[in-house]
Amino acid sequence: MSLLPDPWWPVAVMAFIVIVDGFLTFWPPKVIADCLNGVGLPRDWWWVLAVVKFLAAAGLLAGFWIPGLGLAAIVGLIVYFLTAAGAHLRAGYVGRDFWLNCLGMLVLNILILVFCFLV
């Protein structure tokens, strides 16, 4: 187990993805708006998702220099996407958005945890 990511680049790519995703929460394309509406998240709460994503990205990036912070951030993202998967299942919104976006991001974050921090 490592407290600093090795290799570092998958963590950097995930930080970039999460930052972009955070901005897209403010100005969502139809597919993201449909997903958030599909799981029943009120529009007044969408900003919370952006804050969580920006904090996660900051943790991933700071984790290059602060041992353990990137590890905590990637675990936080896994919990975030597990919660999102639960919201999809609870709402019965299990189409393409669920399989590709939600579970895809969950799997990517688990792979980053395993190959950048645990192996």
Whether the per-residue pLDDT at 85 is higher than 90: the answer is: yes
Q: What value does the mean pLDDT of the chain take?
A: 96
Q: Is the pTM of this model over 0.85?
A: yes
Res 62: pLDDT: 98
Domain ranges (residues) in the chain: 8-118
> DSSP string covering the chain, please?
--SS-SS-HHHHHHHHHHHHHHHHHHS--HHHHHHHHHTT--GGGHHHHHHHHHHHHHHHHHTTTSTTHHHHHHHHHHHHHHHHHHHHHHHT--SHIIIIIIHHHHHHHHHHIIIIII-
* pLDDT for 97 beyond 90: no
